[in-house]
Structure 1
Amino acid sequence: MDRTEESVIRGILEEIPCRENQINLLCDLFGKRNQYTCPALFIFGHSATGKSLVVSTLLKRLELPHAVVNCVECYTQRLMYEQLLNKVAGYQSGPSNNYGSFARCDNTNDFVRLLRSAIAEQCTQEETVYLVFDKAERLREMESNLLPAILRLSELSNCNVCVILISQLVWGKFRTGTGFAEPLILHFPDYSKAELLDIVSRDCPPGYTCEFYSSYANLLMSVFYIACRDLNEIRHLALLNFPKYIEPVIKGEVTTDNAHKLWRNIEPHLKKAMHTVYLREVSSSQWEKYQQEDSEQFGALTCLSTRSKVELPFYSKYLLIAAYLASYNPAKTDRRFFSKNHGKIKKSACPNPKKDMSSQLLGPKAFPLDRLMAIFYSIVDAKVSTTANIFSQISSLVTLSLLCHVGHDDQLDSPRYKCTVSLDFIQSVARTVSFDIIRYLFDFVQ
């Protein structure tokens, strides 16, 4: 390892605290560019333990050839293969190429052949190419021969390829048949209380000392650590409740050294916030806006919420928006609307009246659960882990008759739904999360 790589790794260790052992182990496994590494690596751990962050940061900072796919967004085998080929070959999908792909790839045999040619064009024969599958537990729901083939990509393609699977499940949950090549397993353990306190204390806002914010984080952890140990959720709660904590300091009633009075002021507020753990009714940015708005604007928001006829948690609103988009947009337009490199959509010069009839007049169409989750993860601002809480909110939307379950209860494939709300209703819900839904509706695109 040369001095440049050592300085890069030192910077990563400072940027990502409490993960020194995992970072050093991954660096040793990666080795030099022209060295062969392990053909498959399985990384597992609970949500918000730094798995995806550490892997993606190392690959980017060390400038190693890599391609990362999210198995939730790529919910079919073809989507996953084509996105991997696009990234390995450096192919940019956009309006100039009609949102096409590097090559059409329908099966594993075509993927191995095309991957070999893409690596030969972009990389030298000795360089290791890293293929990262985030949310790898979704691979178990695809074809049975997919996972064994992915684990043997280095052998099948005869190229220096390292496959990295990132999952919240243990490796034993993936063994569903024969033909599996055992990967090297790396565990990311949960953060301890001291490590959580160290990481949260680094988010100190400007104008306050690190000791003051660390004291606040310690008080916060004393309340929420028993019920919540998710790093993302604790950081969210810390930023959400800090304005209330410093309210007496801003008013001039106490000083920053009087921790006892500050605690007495924030204690009832934190206990009430315990009821909203993992149920974000508003995001951090929206909470700050509400705190800064005057009473008239806040009253307008209250009136808007009253007209909506229903109060929904934060993620339920995005799930309902995603369901509306899936019901009224053709499935073939998903890549154009939700791809990172999408451009202006051009409709046909000679439209077919029957084909191009407004979806708003034809009514909602059924969509599978995989498509709903793919759109949801594309439109939501923050990174969201796939947990039982998300799927329980879908069931709540069905109970409220905002979504309709389509099909029989004994069906073997993925459940299908329809969105039953009107355009005015979904617009009012979208305004509460500052989401311009008209821009994503196919009928309104010029």
Structure 2
Amino acid sequence: MARKREETPRRTTSFSALKSCSALNDLVLGGEEPPISRYELLSRLPGREPQILELLDLLGPVNSPMLPLFLYGDASTGKTSSILQIFRYLKRPFIYSSCRTCYTPGLLFGSILNQLLLHRRNAGNGYMSAKRCERPADFINFLRDGVTKLINCLGGNTSKLDSNKLGSGTQGRMIYFIFDSMELVRKWVKHSEITSMLFKLNEILKMPEVGFIFISNSSLDNYHLNTGFVEPVPVHFPGYTVQDVTIILKQDPPNQNPLYQTFLKDAGVVSSFFKVTRRVDELPKAFTSLFQKYCEPLRDMGLVPTGFKEQKQYLYQQFRHRISPALNEIFKVPSFPNTLESEANEVTTKRKSPDAEAIEFHMPVSTKLLLISSYLASWNPAADDGPLFNSVGDGENRKRKRKVSEISKLKKENAEQKLIMKGPGTFSLERMLAIFQCVTVAKSFENAEQVEDENVLGRAEVGEADVLLQLSTLCNANFISKSGSCPLEGSTRYRCVVSEEFVMQVAKTVPFPLLRYLRKT
């Protein structure tokens, strides 16, 4: 009887190991499905073959140690998709956590530890995490223990169990940690401590079986914290070309209609929208409504798509005048639709002068706000940026001032006259982008005050256009001029050269309270 009591815990331990190791397929993308081929990997990610081949070389063969990797590039350039598909191709276990969904250190630590310990939150455990962890020091201790157990499960202990039941989809005993949206960590409290700890994990753990991959929209230069960590190997993801975007859009199953492919190729929509944004995640939504308008002549006349050249030319002639208005309707900064005032604005827009209607017709709202930001940067002193935008949406604070004397008024008028005689000043790109962000948020607050229904706020659609492309467009249109680079800063400076009447007219069409933020008035 004594021997039986001693054997029972041993059988339980073996069963627990088998149960936990069989869950290792959860750490492999695709589970027990057969791995994709190299051709499928490259064909699923158009325009990313150089980056994929470079990452495969850096990851190396099975069970080979690696240096930390840093994948960076603009938003929607295929960084996350590429690395996830690579791991699906390699069939290697990894732990993925996004700093966008895990927006606090506690959520980030909990997400990593739950995956590492093969813990699933459900009703049985009260949807509790495996470990409650808030401090980086505790996280490192839990991480080291969990990694050691998982490596043993992947390697030494697994040889004693049935290989057919034990994580048959996994290859090797390496475990990889992927941290996505690293640029958002800089908005956290004590972000420098968290960022430094994450970049130092490879040196702290000192485990050759562990690899770290960081994904960010900003370059590695923005993470220099003077903490002495070894820099990861950078891998840059450039923006897509027009040809790449066209291939990506054609690959989606709903877009494999021959007429839709003709719409992308012959209607010129990709090249037109490419000047405004290169976000692949925004373009399909924009093209859905445009494609319906593209097919209207066929539905109205009861025609069947034939693919003939004459029909393509007819459809393009009927459709081309709708591209420019769509650029202004779709790519907007945060707005709050479905209000009575928006309908009133549409009525009053039709009664405006031809010049104002032309501005509304050809310039997206985000470009208007960028032009307003450049005008504020040219005419406002840099020292006034903080007081003006310190409390967004609270520009009326400037009215609650003590009554100034006549001498102060005279000095202010003289200063304003000197400023007008001097003309617009130059500004750096960083300052204009900071003002643009504040102006965008200020406009959101203005709209939020007019909306009483909170559900409307939740349904607000947000489109993020490429600001640098819009800046280049404004420079080509001679609204903004480039000045010589500053000898101290070494960066290009800009100057807004539009008149006050013009920018006031633009501000009214947004609408944006420009006078509230303009110092010289």
The letter for the 1-side match of 2:137 is N
Aligned to 2:446: 399
Aligned to 1:278: 331
Aligned to 2:176: 130
Aligned to 1:153: 201
What is the rounded CA distance, in whole Å, between the counterparts of 2:185 and 2:45 in structure 1?
28
Aligned to 1:81: 109
In the TM superposition, what whole-angstrom CA distance separates every residue of 1:353-404 from its partner, at most 9, and x where no partner exists?
xxxxxxxxxxxxxxxx9xxxxxxxxxxxxxxxxx99998665334223549x
What is the rounded CA distance, in whole Å, between the counterparts of 2:182 and 2:59 in structure 1?
20
219, 229, 232: which one aligns with 2:281 = 232
What is the rounded CA distance, in whole Å, between the counterparts of 1:167 and 1:93 in structure 2?
28
What is the rounded CA distance, in whole Å, between the counterparts of 1:33 and 1:22 in structure 2?
19
In the TM superposition, what whole-angstrom CA distance separates every residue of 1:31-56 from its partner, at most 9, and x where no partner exists?
23321111x11111111110011112
State how 1:330-349 maps to structure 2 within 5 Å: none
What is the rounded CA distance, in whole Å, between the counterparts of 1:431 and 1:162 in structure 2?
40
45, 55, 69: which one aligns with 1:16 = 45
The letter for the 1-side match of 2:268 is L
* 2:63 is the counterpart of 1:34: yes
Identity, in percent, stands at: 23
In the TM superposition, what whole-angstrom CA distance separates every residue of 1:162-213 from its partner, at most 9, and x where no partner exists?
2211111111111132322111000001111222222233346455268634
> Using a 3 Å threshold, how does the CA distance of structure 1 residues 389 and 191 change in structure 2: closer, same or farther?
farther
What is the rounded CA distance, in whole Å, between the counterparts of 1:130 and 1:392 in structure 2?
41
Gaps of 5+ in 2: 1-32, 156-171, 344-391, 393-433, 462-521
97, 100, 104: which one aligns with 2:125 = 97
What is the rounded CA distance, in whole Å, between the counterparts of 2:86 and 2:239 in structure 1?
20
> Using a 3 Å threshold, how does the CA distance of structure 1 residues 429 and 12 change in structure 2: closer, same or farther?
same
State how 1:37-436 maps to structure 2 within 5 Å: 37-38=66-67, 40-123=68-151, 124=154, 127-142=173-188, 143=190, 144-159=192-207, 160-203=209-252, 205=255, 207-208=257-258, 212-216=262-266, 219-250=268-299, 251-252=301-302, 256-257=307-308, 258-279=311-332, 308-309=339-340, 311=342, 394-402=441-449, 421=452, 425-427=453-455
What is the rounded CA distance, in whole Å, between the counterparts of 2:280 and 2:102 in structure 1?
26
Gaps of 5+ in 1: 283-304, 313-368, 370-386, 404-419, 434-446
1:73 deviation in Å? Answer: 2.4
The letter for the 1-side match of 2:184 is R
> Using a 3 Å threshold, how does the CA distance of structure 1 residues 281 and 267 change in structure 2: closer, same or farther?
farther
What is the rounded CA distance, in whole Å, between the counterparts of 1:22 and 1:174 in structure 2?
22
Aligned to 1:293: none
Report the TM-score, using the length of structure 2 for normalisation: 0.53
In the TM superposition, what whole-angstrom CA distance separates every residue of 1:51-89 from its partner, at most 9, and x where no partner exists?
011112222443322121221222222221111111122
The letter for the 1-side match of 2:296 is E
What is the rounded CA distance, in whole Å, between the counterparts of 1:430 and 1:229 in structure 2?
25
Are the equivalent residues in 2 in contact too, given 1:8–1:62 (CA < 8 A)?
no
Are the equivalent residues in 2 in contact too, given 1:69–1:134 (CA < 8 A)?
yes
1:271 deviation in Å? Answer: 1.4
Q: In structure 2, the residue corresponding to 1:180 is in which secondary structure?
A: coil
What is the rounded CA distance, in whole Å, between the counterparts of 2:105 and 2:58 in structure 1?
28
1:249 deviation in Å? Answer: 2.3
Report the TM-score, using the length of structure 1 for normalisation: 0.62
What is the rounded CA distance, in whole Å, between the counterparts of 1:49 and 1:74 in structure 2?
21
What is the rounded CA distance, in whole Å, between the counterparts of 2:265 and 2:235 in structure 1?
34
Q: In structure 1, the residue corresponding to 2:71 is in which secondary structure?
A: strand
The letter for the 1-side match of 2:203 is E
What is the rounded CA distance, in whole Å, between the counterparts of 1:44 and 1:193 in structure 2?
21
Q: In structure 2, the residue corresponding to 1:33 is in which secondary structure?
A: coil
What is the rounded CA distance, in whole Å, between the counterparts of 1:195 and 1:17 in structure 2?
6
What is the rounded CA distance, in whole Å, between the counterparts of 1:395 and 1:240 in structure 2?
30
The letter for the 2-side match of 1:215 is K
The letter for the 2-side match of 1:156 is I
Are the equivalent residues in 1 in contact too, given 2:35–2:88 (CA < 8 A)?
no
What is the rounded CA distance, in whole Å, between the counterparts of 1:161 and 1:51 in structure 2?
21
> Using a 3 Å threshold, how does the CA distance of structure 1 residues 170 and 84 change in structure 2: closer, same or farther?
same
Aligned to 2:419: none
Q: Name the Cα RMSD after superposition.
A: 3.4
> Using a 3 Å threshold, how does the CA distance of structure 1 residues 60 and 429 change in structure 2: closer, same or farther?
same
Are the equivalent residues in 2 in contact too, given 1:66–1:88 (CA < 8 A)?
no
Are the equivalent residues in 2 in contact too, given 1:46–1:190 (CA < 8 A)?
yes
Are the equivalent residues in 2 in contact too, given 1:66–1:131 (CA < 8 A)?
yes
The structure whose Rg is larger is: 2
The letter for the 2-side match of 1:36 is P
1:99 deviation in Å? Answer: 2.1
What is the rounded CA distance, in whole Å, between the counterparts of 1:55 and 1:208 in structure 2?
31
Q: In structure 2, the residue corresponding to 1:72 is in which secondary structure?
A: coil
Q: In structure 1, the residue corresponding to 2:258 is in which secondary structure?
A: coil
What is the rounded CA distance, in whole Å, between the counterparts of 1:432 and 1:135 in structure 2?
23
